Amino acid sequence: MSNLKVALAQIAPVWLNKEQTLKKVLASIEEAGEKNCDLIVFGEGLLPGYPFWLALTDGAAWDNTMQKEMHAHYLRNAVQIESGDLEAVQDLARKHAISIYLGIIERPQDRGGHSLYCSLVYINAEGAILSVHRKLQPTYEERLTWSPGDGHGLQVHPLKEFRLGGLNCWENWMPLARTALYGLGENLHIAVWPGCVRNTIDISRFIALESRSFVISVSSLMRQKDIPEDCPHGDLIKEKSNEVIADGGSCIVGPDGKWIVEPQANYEGLIIQELDLNRVREERQNFDPAGHYSRPDITKLHLNRERQSILGIDD
């Protein structure tokens, strides 16, 4: 029970196409399940993809027809969990007894159904969705299309003897978000990214050293060839972009801060590794940020896990 076989799914979306990207997600889960993995992790917002067009096409332009059309297309291809969009993923989790962290662009009904959230979904080996973490603070141009989330999804989950927690992209730089997961007993930290080695190469080792936990950073890929022919304004987006838009960077770090798998660039497929929880126990001997090396009598964090909504209904 101290060993966990993990798969990092560094794949590209069929960009902004929910149906076709979902097929790639399911194929990766099947492969990981056939290889007897306990856990598979996908990158930030992979389903149906990261909003790269914003930085390439003047996304802040006010009342711009192109930007409106792109946002509407994004909405149409976003994931609505309440409507069953992830049922096929849940079925495969159950079939292979594999747990899943999946980055999605969520269009939740509890916020009206017309705003988008960058969400990290955890599905357990029984196929149950146990948490949906909406990114607390979208970064820079992301704020033009994503809404800020809440603390409801700041949770950890048991898997064998491990306790898993996850954050989206630059949330991993937020000290208090990390601290909340440490306080909940996290010993395997999941960091998901849209892609690029430059995002993962420093923070992954930093979190491992700070927490004395395993850290899995999982990135997506994005290339011009991943923009489908029927994507609105696809020709303009290709014209403004490089051939490689996001090069990956998925990696694994041990609780001593040393690389187990260094950041992998321009590789598409599964990265599989077995982790031994005893390594965490060894490194916690000299530092435990939520235990013997904490001083809750002096500094303490308050976590609000209420799901935010504009509407409260009294029956």
46-61 core/surface letters (b: 16 or more CB in 10 A; e: else): bbbbbbbbbbbbebee
Q: What's the whole-number mean pLDDT along residues 287-308? A: 96
Cα within 13 Å of Cα(203), Cβ side: 25
Q: Is the pLDDT of residue 311 over 90?
A: no
**pLDDT value at residue 312:** 85
Q: Torsion angle of alpha carbons 200, 206, 209, 212, nearest 10°?
A: -60
- 44-64 pLDDT, tens per residue? 999 999 999 999 999 999 999
d(CA 188, CA 164): 5
**pLDDT band at 71; cut points 50, 70, 90:** very high
- 224-280 pLDDT, tens per residue? 999 999 999 999 999 999 999 999 999 999 999 999 999 999 999 999 999 999 999
- 104-157 pLDDT, tens per residue? 999 999 999 999 999 999 999 999 999 999 999 999 999 999 999 999 999 999
3-state secondary structure of 312: coil
**pLDDT value at residue 314:** 86
Q: What's the whole-number mean pLDDT along residues 277-300? A: 97
Summary mean pLDDT of the chain? 97
CATH topology of domain 3-283: Nitrilase/N-carbamoyl-D-aminoacid amidohydrolase (3.60.110)
Q: Where are the domains of the chain?
A: 3-283
pLDDT-above-90 percentage for the chain: 97
> Are the beta carbons of 272 and 34 closer than 8 angstroms?
no
d(CA 228, CA 216): 30
**pLDDT value at residue 137:** 97
Q: Is the pLDDT of residue 313 over 90?
A: no
